[in-house]
Structure 1
């Protein structure tokens, strides 16, 4: 394990860092394009402004790490533990975060167009003003997530848990998307959609199913 390493602006393109442990490491501005970091650990590190398109973070643990303004286009974070990570203003277009743990992560103003977040845990995450156009959020847990100002045009919300997510000022959202999601009366839906009878019926159906299933 390497602690407190300063690798700012380091050129680590296509490096093999599988299983590396770099707690409290500073990699601001480092070049990690196509780097393999499977199972790597970067707890409480600083990877802000890192340039890591197509980097592979599969199964990595980067809890509490900063990725602000990072370039993670088409990066792979499948099953990664990125809880409480700050991805604010990062570019994550096309990134694969299938099954990633993103509880209380900060994704404010993050570019997530066409990103895959299928089955990801986004409980309590802050996605304010995030760009989620065409993103896959199917089966994602968005319980308590904040999506105010986010753009959800063409996003796949099939079986996504939106109770009690805040979508009051979300953009691009249409009735058809909500009819595929799990909604409750605690889900904060834009007024223009909340008044739709189909949406009201969907809420009633979801709550009836929850009641029948009983507590977890």
Structure 2
């Protein structure tokens, strides 16, 4: 008998078994001398009832299990690569170490299921419900998780690099040490999530809800958090270098000891935020809101003031402004004698009648400045300044 003929015979037997009564499916399958762990691969098992049965290490590769009842089913180590599990009920099922790569789980119910160390690479889980599921160290790279619910799920150490989590619900989830490199989390709900030590490099978190989230020592280098809500979030010790924080809400956030080098905080709200010990070299403060309760070192408070209120005619003699982003600042007539501008940015700054004598300008970036003659420009370059344009 050819493989194709055998497959057709198995499919015909299964359909007769299903028609005979779904409640006795497994028993009837065995009477028909079908081995559930080997003979179900690639067959049509739509809407079948396999509740609470054992299919440990079963070969269900490319099997159609859409709308099937697999609740409380033992599927640990099963091969479900490319299987159709759309709208299936997998509540409290054991899928630990299972291969679900490229499987379709759209709309599936996986509440309290065990997916620990499972492979969900390139799987589709659009609008799936994984509330309270165990996804520790699971592989979810490049998976489509758009609109899925992970409320109170455990994703410790899981890899979600390149996954699509737009609009997903991750409220109260444990995401500590999880990997979200290049992941799309735009508009996702991460309210109260534990992201301690998570890798969020280059992730898209624009307009995400991260209120009260724990992001201690997380790595968010070059992430996009435009318009995100991080009020009351704990980011102590996090790497936030070159992050896009435009229009972000950081009210009462803990940003102490963070690396904010090159971060764009423009038009953000830092009211009541704690930035003590933060590295703010070349951070953008344009349009940033602070208040009397914002904790920030004198140097960076002064930079904020210069950028947002100007320093026309101000005496800044011998002040340390190294590493400050003073792009487009109004320093007209300012006394900058001996000021430390090493590594700072002054692109487009108004320097008309400003006194830069003895200013320390090594690696300071100038360009498109009013009030800088060719003679002054040549002198600044001789002293180590960099000119753009």
The answer to whether TM tops 0.5 is yes
1:178 CA drift (Å): 3.4
Tell me whether 1:202 sits opposite 2:268 in the alignment: yes
Higher relative contact order (CA 8 A, sep 6+): 1
Partner residue, 2:76: 28
Match of 1:202, SS?
A: coil
Tell me whether 1:71 sits opposite 2:119 in the alignment: yes
Tell me whether 1:161 sits opposite 2:227 in the alignment: no
Structure 2 segments unaligned to the other structure (5+ residues): 1-48, 241-254, 272-389
Partner residue, 1:145: 193
Which segment is superposed worse, 188-197 or 142-151? 188-197
Deviations 1:44-68 (A, max 9, x none): 1100000111000000001000000
Equivalent residues in 2 for 1:67-216, closer than 5 Å: 67-174=115-222, 177-184=224-231, 186-191=232-237, 193=240, 194=255, 199=265, 202-204=268-270
Partner residue, 1:4: 52
Q: Distance in 1 between matches of 2:203 and 2:190?
A: 14
Deviations 1:93-141 (A, max 9, x none): 1001000011001111101110110000000011110110000000000
RMSD over aligned Cα atoms:
1.9
Residues 179, 202 of structure 1: 8 Å contact kept = no
Q: Distance in 2 between matches of 1:51 and 1:2?
A: 19
Match of 2:208, SS?
A: coil
Q: Distance in 2 between matches of 1:28 and 1:2?
A: 14
- Normalising by structure 1, we get a TM-score of 0.88
Rg larger for: 2
Q: Distance in 1 between matches of 2:67 and 2:178?
A: 31
1:6 CA drift (Å): 0.3
Deviations 1:150-202 (A, max 9, x none): 1000000011001011111111345x633442221x11123465266965962
Structure 1 segments unaligned to the other structure (5+ residues): 206-216
Paired residues in the alignment total 203
Residues 179, 198 of structure 1: 8 Å contact kept = no
